[in-house]
Structure 1
Amino acid sequence: MAVLSLLVLASIACAQTANLFPPGSVVGYPGPTPTGIEAFEVATGPAAPAQTNYFPLVRFRPSDEGANGTYDPFAVSFGNLSPALSLPPATFSPDFVNSSALIPPQCTLNQVHLLHRHGSRYPTSGSAPASFGVKVANNTGKFNASGSLSFLNKWQYGLGAEILTPFGREQLFELGVSFRVKYGYLLDKFANGTLPVFRTTSEDRMLKSALNFAAGFFGIPYEDQYHQSILIEATGFNNTLAPYETCTNGNNANSAGGSAAVNLWVPIYLKDAAARLTAQSGGLNITASDAYAMQQLCAYEVNALGYSDFCPLFTQEEFKGFEYTFDLSFWYSNFFGGPYVAAQGIGYVQELVARLTQTPVAVHNSTTNSTLDNSAVTFPLNQPIYVDASHDTVISAIIVAMNFSSLAATGPLPTDHIPAKRSFIVSQVAPFATQLAGQVLTCTEGNSTESYIRWLLNDASLPLTNIPGCAADPYGRCLTSTWLAAMKQRIQQVSFANDCLANYTIANVIGANITDGRPPKSAVFH
């Protein structure tokens, strides 16, 4: 009874305290609140806006960089753990040197489709950084590190798991603000009383990313300005923003190519680092795998805490090797070198075709959700703005499904050296808060007025010349009808039932020379 009384008293005290801090709607006196016209920077700006910084993260110097060095580790070292930055116009083709996110001349914008990744997060549960933390904790008092490694004597692992970091929240808020400044004008094209429907998944970092985006895009309060569709991300639920949940071959031995490639590469590029760090450890044996975990700690601690003592332990070449681990991992498990990857992304392509043709998804034979996608309320087909939040590996799978094969032009990646030239670099494709934006345009050429589509990956135009029927264009445009015909053909070519669900084995994913995201002829079906 006494305990109950205490709880009642505590509840009363909390209520009384809350009454001392009423919300703004109760306080009143807001002052003038007129709004202005919507921004439309991609059509009215003299130059394209660009994401060029990573404030408040602190830039570090690799161990071999001088005081006047210009090495930017955030842009070239962290793979998919890098913060998204705007890419130079000619990143994916020298033909796009004058292209940008600005609307091309003689064109008007009708619609924009945004697919973005969540923001910076803590490591996934049970990953290498946490395991290295356990190793250090279990050996506390048994080693006495010196030199640049002396911080390890008192270091303790303190990162969370999987949820957004403060910087990750900032990234998505800023993405929302920038998207409103770029494309806010399109909000005026929604029918009166119609609210936009944006999508995300139920995973905590996904939902929080979507809400931070909304806070930046709509302003606070944002709840009554749009509808947030939350797709369940769990085993057994069809979800085009988390398609791996229902793709069997993406979760068995056929998906091991990426980790196998990384395991071959790590002992090569970190051999010297392991010996150097062990010599400084004062009794703690540091293997190449440990050094790899320490590089991951560098990236994760910078993203979470702003700076990391692990970063200055490694050279510029070792950071280049570190980035290459992500390229290898993605290529063989989440990009054109994975046998099920096109199938994982094809459901989103089906939805994209439905939106662009304003025709409901007719056949649900992939990861599309027949309940949500068949409702005009939860899956509208006439929005001027679409925003979908997803994961890095899903965005890379969608890129494969959409057949942006110029990113695979240099072919499979070697596991024993970094090639002099490669068309696929993960930090360009899938960093934290990456954005893939499709602009649907009406353009006038002479006496002809046609609908075009173009795709921008982190503000750089993607070539569409590999898409059947799409001609070379200085802005990366293709006739919408031509592009749609190619996507419909691609949907027919990619079989989710075969690639994701069929019982097959691939003896050696790395050696299978896969370049189209589909099972090779060498796959053995059972």
Structure 2
Amino acid sequence: MEGNLSQRCNGALQATCGGYEWTVDDTYAAQMMCPYETVAYGYSVFCDLFTYEEWEGFGYAIDIEFAGSSGFQSPTGRAVGIGYQQEILARLKNETLGPTQFYRLARHPFGARLDMEIIRTPMPLSSDRSEYLEGGETKYIHFILNQRTLPLGVSFPECDASRLDGWCELDTFIHVQNRMSQLAQYDHACYSNLSDFKYGDISDGAPPLPSS
């Protein structure tokens, strides 16, 4: 990928720059302009400069960057997100909205839309959605990112990965989320003198516990 971009920097892209020495860093900056201008203006001329393969490489680079800076490959990944998680959890428990019953929560990150729906059924719904099961009224939570269901059972086995709808029983989801604060190790992650970690050393979004 980088080799192809280097050739393009010295070829087609360089030819359009009027003598400016175009580099791979400039290419990355131009690719970054595409989504920013698209959000701001609805269109960006930078988007058409690159091939499908180059956009795939760009997406992969962004994934690696976020995984290492804010995701599960970062020792502070869980700690950085724990405030957001705790606010969501409090709202699901109806702890911050007073007497108002909470049914739907929407968050709109830059370049994405995340909706969380609370769905009430008269009885438990089977994982294949073919029938109701024995039991009373049941509430489920449903995550939708950019109009696509996020299957919660894939991330949280307690939510049942076999569910075709990706839902999770609300009580089960809250039970799972209650332990996230402990997993984040906020004080250790944010206030300890952590060692330098190479990409790949961390896989759970939290630093290793100090040896006793």
TM category, shorter = 0.7 to 0.9
Correspondence for 1:228:
none
- The answer as to 2:54 corresponding to 1:318 is yes
SS of match in other structure, 2:166: coil
1:382 aligned residue (100, 108, 124): 100
The 1:454–1:386 alpha-carbon spacing in structure 2 relative to 1, beyond 3 Å, is closer
SS of match in other structure, 1:504: coil
Q: TM-score, normalised by structure 2?
A: 0.77
Correspondence for 2:5:
270
- The answer as to 2:156 corresponding to 1:467 is yes
1:490 aligned residue (180, 187, 190): 180
The 1:294–1:446 alpha-carbon spacing in structure 2 relative to 1, beyond 3 Å, is closer
In the alignment, residue 186 of structure 2 is paired with which amino acid?
F
Q: CA deviation at 1:272?
A: 1.9
CA distance in 2, matches of 1:287, 1:342: 35
What 5-or-longer segments of structure 2 have no aligned partner?
124-131
Higher RCO (CA < 8 A, seq sep 6+): 1
Q: Is the 8 A contact 1:342 1:518 kept in 2?
A: yes
- The answer as to 2:44 corresponding to 1:308 is yes
SS of match in other structure, 2:75: coil
The 1:268–1:453 alpha-carbon spacing in structure 2 relative to 1, beyond 3 Å, is same
Correspondence for 1:281:
17
CA distance in 2, matches of 1:492, 1:381: 29
1:435 aligned residue (114, 135, 143): 114
Deviations 1:313-334 (A, max 9, x none): 3222222222222212211112
Correspondence for 1:427:
none
In the alignment, residue 100 of structure 2 is paired with which amino acid?
N
What 5-or-longer segments of structure 1 have no aligned partner?
1-264, 361-375, 393-431
Q: CA deviation at 1:304?
A: 3.1
The 1:279–1:482 alpha-carbon spacing in structure 2 relative to 1, beyond 3 Å, is same
Correspondence for 2:194:
504
Q: Is the 8 A contact 1:270 1:292 kept in 2?
A: no
Correspondence for 2:127:
none
Q: Is the 8 A contact 2:5 2:24 kept in 1?
A: yes
- The answer as to 2:203 corresponding to 1:515 is yes
Q: Is the 8 A contact 2:184 2:205 kept in 1?
A: no
In the alignment, residue 10 of structure 2 is paired with which amino acid?
A
SS of match in other structure, 1:291: helix
Q: CA deviation at 1:280?
A: 4.2
Q: CA deviation at 1:436?
A: 3.1
CA distance in 2, matches of 1:443, 1:458: 28
CA distance in 2, matches of 1:446, 1:386: 25
Q: Is the 8 A contact 1:294 1:310 kept in 2?
A: yes
Deviations 1:174-206 (A, max 9, x none): xxxxxxxxxxxxxxxxxxxxxxxxxxxxxxxxx
The 1:296–1:357 alpha-carbon spacing in structure 2 relative to 1, beyond 3 Å, is closer
CA distance in 1, matches of 2:120, 2:60: 37
SS of match in other structure, 1:517: coil
| Bigger Rg over Cα | 1
CA distance in 2, matches of 1:300, 1:477: 33
Percentage of pairs with the same residue:
33
Deviations 1:384-413 (A, max 9, x none): 345465645xxxxxxxxxxxxxxxxxxxxx
SS of match in other structure, 2:152: coil
CA distance in 2, matches of 1:381, 1:442: 22
Deviations 1:190-246 (A, max 9, x none): xxxxxxxxxxxxxxxxxxxxxxxxxxxxxxxxxxxxxxxxxxxxxxxxxxxxxxxxx
Q: TM-score, normalised by structure 1?
A: 0.34
